[in-house]
């Protein structure tokens, strides 16, 4: 993974010193909250419902064991003993005292981490496929390009005060595990006819109150032109994006109002002026960054592990875990493993300090000290020997981290909702917990098959409800929490925005409503192999709407 050079280290230390001074002035009353707000947001500090919240960047979702241990220490020392992993591959601490934030940032800097640009109208943390570098189907590891974009965008003087926040995601495979069509800019790494690297570029995706899917603006931008082309898009957006209405300020609105063809013309015009200049990406620089992400030295192993197969035959719990949480690796004899942060009845995305330490120790012993954070609020061990999975499973089970539900109905994405967030209208966590318990029986999950539930506590859609197979949006209805249900959303290469099926439900009825939808699917599916999403796309909303509301 990437290692800071002298410039990086000095850059982050200087930023910590600057913010420490700003916090001191705020605590002394020399800065009002209104004056302090833009300064704290530039350093990832929010004022939530009950306390300040610190959002820490995990660039492209990659962590080392050392960094995970430091996050555990911060959780114990400065918070309430846990952290919350988010859909942006970040981690949030919900209870730090403002006076302690400079110390936290100082500790992060010691392990090459920071909170820069995790908030504000700037280019946010660049995300990537959580199986990057391990996936059997990728054209190339997307993380070097996410790192190049991170270096280019950090405190960029032209793009630090955009009309609205700006999010970029990169995937290295045709099967999109990074939800690139839900981003302001989505990039898919591709190979040209000559084998050279380039990018399919998508623009104008986003969720929130006006969900839209990104449109392809260029099918193949050569590697050398990556920064210039992204810069051209940002310049056009900065010039023409609306600043009179924050609800219409995202680039998706510009794409919608301008049209993709006209936007493409404007971008290509800008690109023609800057292409080949200082933003050209030299091949040697790309190779230098790529070298940081060289894969581990994989042993020559048979593709099948007789040892793991024997252990699975003897242990039904391990068998279920392996079936649900292991993923195909590009190297024979290896696998990638999802550590679910969705225990039955638990809080999606939360991990205790002890669990973070346990993951760090497991990664150090068996996984080349490498950990990933997924946008699905889980953790990933990307490189493991199949032969060692039984021991890894036992270590995870001892830490309470062996829930076998990756991709299942209880692998629920949920934002913090009204329990924490000042913007929320309704609670997400209790609904997620109740749904998890309702569908928690392993036999029930097996019967249902792959199905994603995603929950947001307000229209900002931090829980990605628009692209859940079943999406749940909490709203305020005359002072009571009320929940709309949408069906048919999907974040991958066949991306779709879910359709609201009718009037919503109060908190005491929403879990029953979801079960009605699931039971209707099971009754009407063509076969047990037909997934919920496939069945919904075949059947349409009518049978589900009738089951929920009657004829």
- Structure tokens belonging to residue 227: 């920064």
Domain boundary among 95, 110, 125: 110
> SS3 for 59?
helix
What secondary structure letter does DSSP report for 355? H
Residue 449 and residue 364 in one domain: no
**189 and 265 belong to one structural domain:** yes
Residue 129 lies in a domain: no
Is 122 part of any domain? no
pLDDT value, residue 199: 98
121 assigned to some structural domain: no
DSSP 111: T
Decide which of 61, 77, 110 is a domain's last residue: 110
How far is the C-alpha of 259 from the C-alpha of 240, rounded, in Å?
Answer: 13
Number of H helices, E strands in the chain: 18, 21
Q: Which domain holds residue 10?
A: 6-110
* Same domain (yes/no): 454, 379: no
86, 50: one domain: yes
Shared domain check, 421 and 394: no
Residues 465 and 471: beta-carbon distance below 8 Å: yes
Q: What is the reported pTM?
A: 0.97
β-bridge partners, 56:
91
Pair 167, 217 in one domain = yes
Task: Classify burial at 268, counting beta carbons within 10 Å of its beta carbon; exposed 0-12, middle 13-18, buried 19 or more.
Answer: middle
| All residues at 6 or more sequence positions from 328 whose CB lies less than 8 Å from its CB, including other chains | 136, 335, 336
Cβ–Cβ under 8 Å, residues 115 and 44:
yes
Dihedral angle, C-alpha 423, 421, 458, 546, nearest 10 °: -150
Sign of CA dihedral 112, 113, 117, 123: positive
Rounded-to-integer distance, Cα 159 and Cα 141, Å: 26
Q: Rounded to whole angstroms, what are the CA distances from 27 to 6, 13, 51, 56, 77?
A: 32, 21, 15, 22, 21
How far apart are the C-alpha atoms of 380 and 370, rounded to whole Å? 9
The strand pairing partners of 383, in sequence order, are none
User: Which among 100, 125, 153, 119 is positioned nearest to 42, based on CA atoms?
Assistant: 119
Q: Are residues 267 and 311 in the same domain?
A: no
Residues 267 and 328 in one domain: no
Assess whether 332 and 274 both reside in one domain. Answer: no
Q: What CATH number does residue 360 fall under?
A: 3.90.480.20
Residue with tokens 């898009």: 233
- Residue 202 in 3-state DSSP? strand
- Nearest-angstrom CA–CA distance, 255 and 240: 10
Q: How many domains does the chain have?
A: 4
Give domain status of residue 81, yes or no: yes
Q: Digits of tens for pLDDT over the chain (551 positions)?
A: 899 999 999 999 999 999 999 999 999 999 999 999 999 999 999 999 999 999 999 999 999 999 999 999 999 999 999 999 999 999 999 999 999 999 999 999 999 999 999 999 999 999 999 999 999 999 999 999 999 999 999 999 999 999 999 999 999 999 999 999 999 999 999 999 999 999 999 999 999 999 999 999 999 999 999 999 999 999 999 999 999 999 999 999 999 999 999 999 999 999 999 999 999 999 999 999 999 999 999 999 999 999 999 999 999 999 999 999 999 999 999 999 999 999 999 999 999 999 999 999 999 999 999 999 999 999 999 999 999 999 999 999 999 999 999 999 999 999 999 999 999 999 999 999 999 999 999 999 999 999 999 999 999 999 999 999 999 999 999 999 999 999 999 999 999 999 999 999 999 999 999 999 999 999 999 999 999 999 999 999 999 999 999 97
Same domain, 13 and 51: yes
Question: How far from the centroid of its chain's Cα atoms is residue 473's Cα?
Answer: 18
For residue 298, tell me if it sits in a domain: no
Please report whether residue 213 resides in a domain: yes
> Phi, psi (5° rounding) for residue 103?
-65, -40
Strands 334-339 and 379-385: antiparallel
Does the residue 408 lie in any domain? no
Q: Which residues pair with 490 in a beta bridge?
A: 496
Task: State how far the Cα of 281 lies from the Cα of 214, in Å rounded to an integer.
Answer: 25
Encoded tokens for 264: 């493409």
138 lies in the same domain as 264: yes
Domain end (from 342, 365, 399)? 399
At residue 297, the pLDDT reads 95
pLDDT at 1: 82
- CATH code, 479: 3.30.413.10
Structure token pair of residue 180: 């690139």
Question: Is the same domain home to 432 and 495?
Answer: yes
Answer yes or no: is 405 within a domain: no
Q: Whose CA is closest to 86, among 341, 446, 404?
A: 341
Instruction: Copy the structure tokens of residue 149.
Output: 């974009």
Question: Coil, strand, or helix at residue 430?
Answer: helix
**Which residue in this structure is represented by tokens 């950090």?**
154
């Amino acid at each position: 993974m990437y290692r800071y050079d002298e410039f990086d280290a000095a850059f982050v230390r200087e930023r910590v010193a600057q913010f420490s001074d700003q916090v001191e002035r705020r605590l002394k009353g020399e800065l009002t909250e209104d004056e302090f707000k833009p300064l704290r947001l530039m350093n990832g500090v929010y004022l939530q419902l009950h306390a300040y919240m610190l959002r820490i960047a995990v660039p492209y979702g990659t962590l080392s064991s050392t960094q995970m241990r430091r996050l555990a220490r911060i959780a114990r020392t400065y918070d309430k003993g846990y952290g919350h992993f988010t859909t942006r591959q970040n981690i949030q601490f919900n209870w730090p005292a403002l006076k302690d934030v400079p110390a936290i940032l100082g500790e992060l800097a010691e392990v090459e981490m920071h909170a820069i640009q995790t908030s504000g109208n700037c280019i946010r943390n660049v995300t990537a496929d959580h199986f990057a570098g391990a996936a059997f189907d990728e054209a190339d590891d997307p993380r070097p390009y996410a790192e190049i974009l991170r270096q280019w965008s950090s405190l960029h003087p032209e793009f630090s005060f955009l009309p609205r926040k700006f999010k970029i995601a990169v995937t290295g495979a045709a099967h999109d595990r990074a939800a690139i069509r839900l981003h302001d800019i989505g990039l898919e790494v591709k190979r040209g006819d000559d084998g050279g690297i380039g990018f399919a570029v998508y623009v104008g995706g986003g969720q929130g109150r006006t969900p839209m899917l990104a449109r392809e603006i260029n099918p193949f931008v050569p590697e050398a032109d990556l920064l210039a082309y992204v810069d051209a898009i940002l310049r056009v957006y900065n010039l023409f994006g609306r600043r009179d209405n924050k609800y219409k300020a995202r680039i998706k609105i510009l794409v919608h109002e301008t049209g993709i063809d006209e936007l493409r013309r404007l971008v290509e015009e800008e690109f023609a002026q800057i292409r080949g200049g200082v933003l050209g990406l030299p091949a040697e620089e790309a190779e230098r960054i790529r070298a940081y992400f060289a894969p581990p030295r994989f042993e020559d192993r048979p593709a099948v592990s007789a040892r793991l197969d024997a252990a699975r035959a003897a242990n039904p719990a391990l068998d279920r875990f392996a079936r649900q949480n292991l993923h195909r690796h590009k190297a024979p004899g290896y696998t990638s493993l999802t550590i679910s942060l969705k225990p039955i009845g638990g809080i999606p995305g939360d991990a205790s300090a002890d669990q973070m330490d346990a993951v760090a120790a497991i990664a150090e012993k068996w996984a080349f000290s490498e950990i990933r954070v997924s946008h699905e609020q889980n953790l990933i061990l990307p490189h493991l020997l199949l032969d060692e999975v039984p021991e890894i499973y036992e270590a995870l089970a001892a830490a309470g981290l062996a829930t076998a539900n990756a991709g299942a109905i209880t692998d629920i994405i949920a934002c913090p909702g009204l329990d924490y967030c000042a913007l929320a209208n309704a609670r997400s966590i209790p609904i997620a917990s109740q749904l998890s318990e309702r569908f928690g029986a392993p036999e029930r999950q097996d019967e249902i098959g792959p199905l994603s539930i995603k929950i947001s506590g307000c229209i900002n859609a931090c829980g990605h409800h628009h692209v859940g197979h079943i999406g749940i949006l909490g709203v305020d209805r005359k002072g009571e929490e009320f929940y709309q249900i949408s069906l048919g959303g999907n974040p991958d290469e066949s991306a779709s925005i879910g359709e609201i099926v009718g009037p919503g439900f109060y908190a005491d009825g929403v879990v029953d409503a979801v079960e009605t939808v699931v039971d209707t699917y099971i009754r009407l599916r063509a076969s047990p192999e037909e997934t919920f999403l496939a069945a919904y796309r075949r059947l349409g909303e009518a049978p589900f709407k009738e089951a929920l509301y009657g004829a």
